[in-house]
Amino acid sequence: MSLIHKLSRRQFLTISGLSSMSFLLGGCGVPILEDIVGEVSEPLNQKVEALLFKSQQPVPEFSQSEIQSAALIVNSFRGTPVIDPTKYRLVVDGEVNNPLSLSISDIQALPMTTMIIRHVCVEGWAAIVQWGGVRLREIVALSQPQKNVKYVYFQSADGYYSSWDIASALHPQTLLAYQKNDELLPRDNGAPLRLASPIKLGYKQSKWITRITVVSSLFPLKGYWEDQGYEWFAGL
């Protein structure tokens, strides 16, 4: 099967679940009324944040002249992993009908998107960066997710892990980036592949991604920092 194909708007809405109001209500866990009576998968304030999130509304971007080339601070979890790009594979699995194992060439053959956005770190600094890559929703669509998926997990080569709600993962400005400021993504910034998005704080934007797992329920471990008390939704 060719990786490069066009999805009609109707096909994409069917795959992603965006064609029904239940998708919005389910975007951050079980239904809200169920959470209120006690079966809570996430704190109620995060439920409200998810409801306020406009899942397909683009965030205003910046101009080329506003790029801050040196402002993106390199943060590492367990040091920078060494990944051989010729052997690299991105595995996409979980509750999907078409599990994937993609090389970086496979990913770069998909339609490329660029955006100039502000990266915001929870530590208090920010940087305006141009990212280039493939929309995450293109990869999710290729994996043919099953009907009730609500979350996406990301695993990294350095052992880092995090999870997102599916609505945020399918946002048109959520990228799997392999370029930074019109050049190949540097290893310290997450090469060969990292998350980049203007709708989440920096600790949600995993670097050195090797596995994406699409699921209908959150696991007990939700994310490295999230499991230490950081906010799970972490929206901007």
Confidence at residue 77, expressed as pLDDT on a 0 to 100 scale: 73
The structure tokens 């934007």 sit at 205
Q: What is the pLDDT of residues 159-205, one digit of tens each?
A: 999 999 999 999 999 999 999 999 999 999 999 999 999 999 999 99
Per-residue DSSP letters for 19-64?
TSHHHHHHTTSS-HHHHHTT--SS-HHHHHHHHH--TTPPPP---G
pLDDT for position 133? 98
In the prediction, which pLDDT does 46 show?
Answer: 54
Pick the CATH number of 9-228 from 1.10.287.130, 3.30.70.360, 3.90.420.10, 3.30.2310.20: 3.90.420.10
More confident residue, 230 or 41: 230
Least reliable range by pLDDT among 15-19, 97-101, 118-122, 221-225: 15-19
What proportion of the chain, given as a percentage, has pLDDT over 70?
A: 76
Query: What residue type is assigned to position 162 of the chain?
Result: S
Q: How far apart are CA 133 and CA 111, in angstroms?
A: 8
Are 28 and 42 within 8 A, CB to CB? yes
Amino acid at residue number 106 = D
Assigned token pair, 17 = 């679940």
What's this model's pTM, rounded to 2 decimal places?
0.78
Q: Is the pLDDT of residue 215 over 80?
A: yes
pLDDT in tens, 91-113: 999 999 999 999 999 999 999 99
